Structure 1
Amino acid sequence: MRAVVFEAFGEVPEVRVVPEPEAPAGGVVVAVEATGLCRSDWHALAGHDADVQLPHVPGHEFAGRVQAIGSGVTGFEVGQRVTAPFVYACGVCGPCRQGNGQVCLDQRQPGFTRWGSFAEYVVVERAAVNLVALPDEVPMPVAAILGCRFGTSFRAVTQVGRVRAGEWVAVHGCGGVGLSAVAIAVAAGARVLAVDVSPRALELALKLGAEAVVRTEVASRPRIPAPGEVDALALAVGVAIGGQSTPVANLLTIEGTPDPTPSTAVPDLIQELTGGGAHLSLDALGSPETCANSIQSLRPRGRHVQVGLLPPALGLPAVPMHTVIGRELEVLGSHGLAAHAYPQLLALVAVGRLDPAAMITTRLTLDEAGPALAAMAERPPSGVAVIDPRT
């Protein structure tokens, strides 16, 4: 089969011809029709994950059709439309028995512990607890991004973050995970404020229903606006939602300095725009700055959910625990979505309550996938990029 392969960390992956996988006992082989390009794949390429063994095929969110079925697998047939979460659970450990396969004690991950989905075929192990049948109403590219970004955000916002209608939700980082969180929080009736460095990403957040956006420049320490300066810099913008023009408050550019200490400008602005701070805030990027800013932007008794990866290889973030204690905040982590929880999410997508397709901005061939992955650190796509391994 053709697959995207890298043989050294940090190199530009290339398409190679490698052996086609066989279906293991209890598992299946899926012919991949769509797979997402995710920041987590870049972490694997950069060598931030100790489980990645070279040579390696990245890719961990995908959809396709069953190509081959291993011994002991029942309930699925060749040609059936399927997807799977990025954590292959065991189904028998303590967390799995409690319904928390996303934190399985014996988890296996395509694109990390196993070869992944930037290929014509990928293996799904332990199909009984990990393979998910797709309704015909859900297109393959949409189903592909449910496996990591949208599924992860769905659980992070609705289950871990316990969002409630009318609450303010701040989303720090508007890549695929962040935009998914925006769409899900809006669908839940929350008021959403999105933060990013990219005007295009913020434009997408507005189209998905964000009520306010904050634009920051790439800098470790933003300049704190002087009193009254926020109003002077604010721009009145609007977005058409459901045929009506909805006002959106305060698109702000914060100028930075080379000083690498964390910024207090973004949290202060969020406190002002939300009338006291977000009820729920998510770091959907994964950096020391966005982690700290997310926590600092919360009102008392607020909830921070860490979704973006913070690999130890990049340094451990300085979590502002004085703020956590003083405001009695909850600091939570969220890691994927178990396969058994997919039907609820798929039903919302199938009836149009959630529209992940609105976030897909780039479509790539398999030959384009390697260079695009290598460029993610410097030139991440606005929105979501989806790869078709058949092209």
Structure 2
Amino acid sequence: MTTMRAAVLTAPKRFELRDVPLPEIGPEDVLVKVTRTGICGTDIHIFNGHYAADRLPLVPGHEFCGTIAERGANVRHLDIGTRVVVDINIGCGACFWCRRNEVLNCAEVTQVGIGRDGAFADYVAVPARLAIPVTADIADDVLVLTEPVACVVRAARKAGVTFGQSVVIFGAGPIGNLHVQMMRLVGAAPIIVADLSAERCRMALEAGADAAVSDPAELKETVRRMTDGRGADLVIESVGSKKLYEQAFDLTRRGGHVAFFGITPPGETLPVDILRTVLEEGSLKGSVAGMGEDMHDALTLLSHGRFRIGDFTKASYPLERIQQAFETLADRPQDLKTQIAVAA
């Protein structure tokens, strides 16, 4: 076999299913036969031409699982047929940032499905050191959620959330819902969600939020009422809206924190009240992708059923219908995750 199927994004909003050469692997790499790939918010940004447009044509797809189909000559710790998930963040492995598990700051970083071809294809080649063997009896439609869960694991870790801290989460889509569940796991309370979709707000309440607000005019009063007038300890922006980032600071208590998570278009900036930030000892922290131990922790949490994932596993399309899957996403708010079933 020398070729494989791949969904190539040739231009914004246009996938073409093509036969392409099978990826070549080096002595330290493995070839993964893809079974499932999830559609991520970042994939939607790429599809719409808002992100990574300069890298087209591209095979997107970075939330995936599969089995080892081939291994490089120097790979000994992974056997053919081993089920794996993959840390998609490929750094040099030796620099200051890679040693600190801050791989996205590595000067040589690239990401599977974003900076190089990814998993909307039959096979994907990755460094063997980033393939994580799966030993638990866990279904593919759950396993494929490891990467997005790793993202919220890292966000919680970076924010340093502790028991009883109040949290506001902007966005009740797939990643917002996972933020709700992560905050509940680490003991945050109350958890308040804001989203324009009443359906998504309902799902957030089912996931563990203490309040969900679909009317923007009611949000500030709700936050003040539920935090004894102080404002939230932490506000997580998971939508990628400059307006919501600005609002986040207004909802945060003195000494509170804003978590920058949602991706905005390049070059967008915010005015920051420097004196207020200094005097109130406020802070902000960015976080976007799970990596390293975040992936292992996410896999452990999923393996032990710590997340409600029913609404993440209902929608599945074959690779041949990937264009339809992307085009209908906005019409299916009840489907928190759409998955592409690559292998039968």
> What is the TM-score normalised by the length of structure 1?
0.79
Tell me if the contact between 2:70 and 2:80 (Cα under 8 Å) persists in the aligned partners.
yes
Tell me if the contact between 2:159 and 2:259 (Cα under 8 Å) persists in the aligned partners.
yes
In structure 1, list runs of 5 or more residues that go unmatched: 217-221, 223-253, 255-264
SS of corresponding position for 1:302: strand
Partner residue of 2:338? Answer: 385
Q: What letter is aligned with 1:298?
A: T
Instruction: Measure the CA separation in 2 of the matches of 1:319 and 1:81.
Output: 47
Partner residue of 1:242? Answer: none
Instruction: Measure the CA separation in 1 of the matches of 2:247 and 2:313.
Output: 27
Instruction: Measure the CA separation in 2 of the matches of 1:7 and 1:99.
Output: 33
Question: Do structure 1's residue 173 and structure 2's residue 201 form an aligned pair?
Answer: no
SS of corresponding position for 1:18: strand
Q: Deviations over 1:131-185 (max 9, x none)?
A: 11113233222222221x211111101x111111111111101122111110111
Question: Do structure 1's residue 6 and structure 2's residue 4 form an aligned pair?
Answer: no
Instruction: Measure the CA separation in 2 of the matches of 1:152 and 1:29.
Output: 24
Kindly, what percent of the aligned residue pairs are identical? 29
**Mean Cα deviation higher: 85-94 or 176-185:** 85-94
Partner residue of 1:230? Answer: none
Pairwise CA distance, 1:51: 7.2
Q: What letter is aligned with 1:290?
A: L
Pairwise CA distance, 1:331: 0.8
Alignment of 1:223-242 (within 5 A): none
Partner residue of 2:285? Answer: 332
SS of corresponding position for 2:180: helix
Alignment of 1:99-248 (within 5 A): 99-124=101-126, 126-128=127-129, 130-147=130-147, 149-157=148-156, 159-191=157-189, 192-216=191-215
Tell me if the contact between 1:52 and 1:112 (Cα under 8 Å) persists in the aligned partners.
no
Instruction: Measure the CA separation in 1 of the matches of 2:122 and 2:310.
Output: 22
Instruction: Measure the CA separation in 2 of the matches of 1:13 and 1:68.
Output: 27
Pairwise CA distance, 1:23: 2.0
- Alignment CA distance shift 1:334-1:49 (3 Å): same
Pairwise CA distance, 1:379: 6.6
SS of corresponding position for 1:348: helix
Tell me if the contact between 1:271 and 1:299 (Cα under 8 Å) persists in the aligned partners.
no
> What is the TM-score normalised by the length of structure 2?
0.90
Partner residue of 2:75? Answer: 73
Tell me if the contact between 1:42 and 1:377 (Cα under 8 Å) persists in the aligned partners.
no
Partner residue of 1:307? Answer: 261
Partner residue of 1:243? Answer: none
Tell me if the contact between 1:364 and 1:387 (Cα under 8 Å) persists in the aligned partners.
yes
- Alignment CA distance shift 1:345-1:339 (3 Å): same
Instruction: Measure the CA separation in 1 of the matches of 2:279 and 2:317.
Output: 47
Partner residue of 2:250? Answer: 296
Partner residue of 2:270? Answer: 318
Instruction: Measure the CA separation in 2 of the matches of 1:357 and 1:88.
Output: 31
Instruction: Measure the CA separation in 2 of the matches of 1:60 and 1:51.
Output: 16
Partner residue of 1:351? Answer: 304
Pairwise CA distance, 1:345: 2.6
**Mean Cα deviation higher: 333-342 or 192-201:** 333-342
**Mean Cα deviation higher: 319-328 or 21-30:** 319-328
**Mean Cα deviation higher: 354-363 or 335-344:** 354-363
Q: Deviations over 1:12-40 (max 9, x none)?
A: 31322222212233111111111111110
Q: What letter is aligned with 2:198?
A: P
Instruction: Measure the CA separation in 1 of the matches of 2:311 and 2:160.
Output: 24
SS of corresponding position for 2:149: helix
> Pairwise CA RMSD of aligned residues?
2.3
In structure 2, list runs of 5 or more residues that go unmatched: none
Tell me if the contact between 1:132 and 1:339 (Cα under 8 Å) persists in the aligned partners.
no
